[in-house]
């Protein structure tokens, strides 16, 4: 086969069938005209090396085909790349925090091999990070290919830019310090009422919270559907024994409602980022999601059985009951046994109180947002 024809076939393989013939014909004319001009200048036929040099001047078949191909020339273009980079940085920071918490839990649970736990934490972080980057890249590629540009990409305001500090580690440190200072100052006689402080928050504050919440809940959704895995959640060590943690049937029953609840929260966060000034609509949506959260919390609490700890033939249930909502039991928490039954009892107490606090928080969310909806 002639060298030129082989080159043209390589280019044609990268083009769509509808436009392939016309482009190849145009490219063939270009190549042959250059060959003829070179032969006329030299006064002799070109050697294979000289023909190949002309083809190299025109470019690699992949590059040449890209010049004729319709659509974007890159997976994520320069307009979307900064947003992609922000999502990657902020998401990886959240992943790092979650992995650190999981590692901390494993280390304080009496692990027999801390080095292995640390290695598994790093493995889980890198695996989850690659999944996160892949998901963001896929979303960015779809937006680039179909020229999708959400309103918040173009219709932005300076006062809504506070959320972008989430991708800066120093911003997190400054935020923690600022929160500590506010708590310390709040202990003095000039402390401002909490309800008044929250009511005076600016749209920028809501935007920063919404951005963090969107990324955090999005990470939970990826874990909930099995796309992201965190080591240390399915097994813990108690007195050197590896104990498996099995979910109770209630989690399978509520799998879809919990997923919808999380997606609803992400929808509110996205709405807050796009329309930070729509206070009344945001409050109404938050009330609806909080009511759904209360329903989920009640059903989880009513199920009673949440997890099962197993080591060999021995099992212990992590289960809740209203009698655990006793402050005297909390005071005795540090005196709990370190065996399988004792750890299960301790976790039962902690999760029962966590659900109770969650319910109170959701009720407060409903009341606070009802007040905002009235005042907006």
Tens digits of residue pLDDT in 46-60: 888 888 899 999 999
> HSE on the CB side for 234, CA within 13 Å?
7
Judge whether residue 43 has pLDDT over 50.
Answer: yes
Residue 343's pLDDT is 80
Q: Which two tokens stand for residue 139?
A: 């979303």
Residue 358 φ then ψ, to 5°: -60, -40
> Which residue stretches of the chain are H helix?
3-12, 17-42, 48-58, 61-68, 81-108, 114-145, 151-154, 169-186, 194-199, 203-224, 249-253, 255-274, 279-303, 327-331, 340-375
Highest mean pLDDT among 34-38, 90-94, 230-234, 345-349: 34-38
Taking the C-alpha atoms of residue 114 and residue 110, their distance in angstroms, rounded to an integer, is 9
Residue 147's pLDDT is 79
User: 68, 71, 57: which is closest to 23 by C-alpha?
Assistant: 68
Taking the C-alpha atoms of residue 266 and residue 286, their distance in angstroms, rounded to an integer, is 11
Give the residue-averaged pLDDT of 22-47. 90
Taking the C-alpha atoms of residue 219 and residue 239, their distance in angstroms, rounded to an integer, is 32
* Lowest-confidence region among 67-76, 267-276, 346-355: 67-76
Residue 257's pLDDT is 94
Q: pLDDT by residue (tens digit) across 15-26? A: 888 888 888 899
Residue 282's pLDDT is 86
| Average pLDDT value over all residues in the chain | 78
pTM of the model: 0.53
Using CA atoms, how far residue 347 sits from 71, 299, 308, 356, in Å, is: 55, 19, 11, 14
Highest mean pLDDT among 40-54, 59-73, 333-347: 40-54
> Angle 203-224/255-274 helices, nearest 10 degrees?
150
**Banded model confidence at residue 169, pLDDT cuts 50, 70, 90:** low
The sign of the dihedral angle between the CA atoms of 273, 275, 278, 282 is negative
Residue 232's pLDDT is 62
Residue 250's pLDDT is 92
Taking the C-alpha atoms of residue 185 and residue 199, their distance in angstroms, rounded to an integer, is 19
Q: pLDDT by residue (tens digit) across 222-245? A: 888 887 776 666 777 776 677 888
């Amino acid at each position: 086969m002639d060298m030129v024809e082989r080159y043209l076939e390589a280019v044609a393989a990268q083009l769509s069938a509808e436009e392939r013939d016309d482009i190849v014909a145009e490219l063939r004319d270009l190549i042959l005209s250059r060959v003829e001009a070179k032969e006329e200048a030299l006064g002799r036929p070109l050697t294979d090396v000289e023909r190949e040099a002309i083809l190299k001047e025109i470019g690699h078949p992949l590059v040449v085909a890209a010049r004729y191909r319709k659509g974007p020339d890159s997976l994520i273009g320069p307009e979307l790349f900064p947003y992609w980079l922000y999502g990657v940085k902020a998401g990886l920071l959240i992943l790092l925090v979650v992995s650190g918490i999981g590692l901390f839990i494993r280390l304080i649970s009496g692990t027999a091999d801390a080095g292995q736990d640390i290695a598994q934490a790093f493995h889980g972080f890198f695996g989850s990070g690659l999944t996160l980057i892949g998901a963001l890249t896929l979303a960015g590629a779809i937006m680039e290919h179909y020229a999708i540009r959400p309103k918040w990409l173009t219709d932005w305001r300076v006062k809504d830019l506070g959320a972008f500090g989430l991708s800066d580690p120093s911003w997190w440190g400054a935020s923690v310090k600022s929160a500590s200072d506010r708590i310390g100052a709040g202990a003095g006689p000039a402390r401002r009422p909490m309800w008044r402080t929250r009511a005076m928050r600016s749209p920028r504050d809501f935007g920063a919270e919404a951005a963090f919440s969107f990324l955090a809940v999005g990470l939970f959704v990826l874990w909930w559907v099995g796309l992201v895995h965190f080591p240390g959640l399915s097994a813990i060590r108690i007195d050197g024994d590896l104990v498996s943690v099995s979910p109770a049937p209630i989690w399978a029953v509520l799998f879809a409602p919990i997923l919808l609840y999380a997606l609803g929260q992400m929808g509110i966060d996205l709405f807050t980022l796009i329309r930070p000034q729509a206070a009344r609509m945001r409050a109404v949506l938050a009330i609806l999601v909080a009511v759904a959260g209360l329903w989920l919390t009640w059903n989880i609490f009513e199920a009673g059985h949440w997890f099962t700890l197993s080591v060999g033939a021995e099992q212990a249930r992590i289960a809740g009951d209203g009698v655990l909502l006793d402050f005297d039991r909390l005071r005795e928490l540090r005196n709990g046994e370190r065996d399988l039954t004792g750890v299960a009892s301790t976790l039962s107490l902690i999760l029962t109180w966590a659900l109770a606090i969650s319910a109170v928080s959701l009720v407060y969310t409903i009341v606070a947002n009802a007040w905002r909806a009235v005042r907006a």
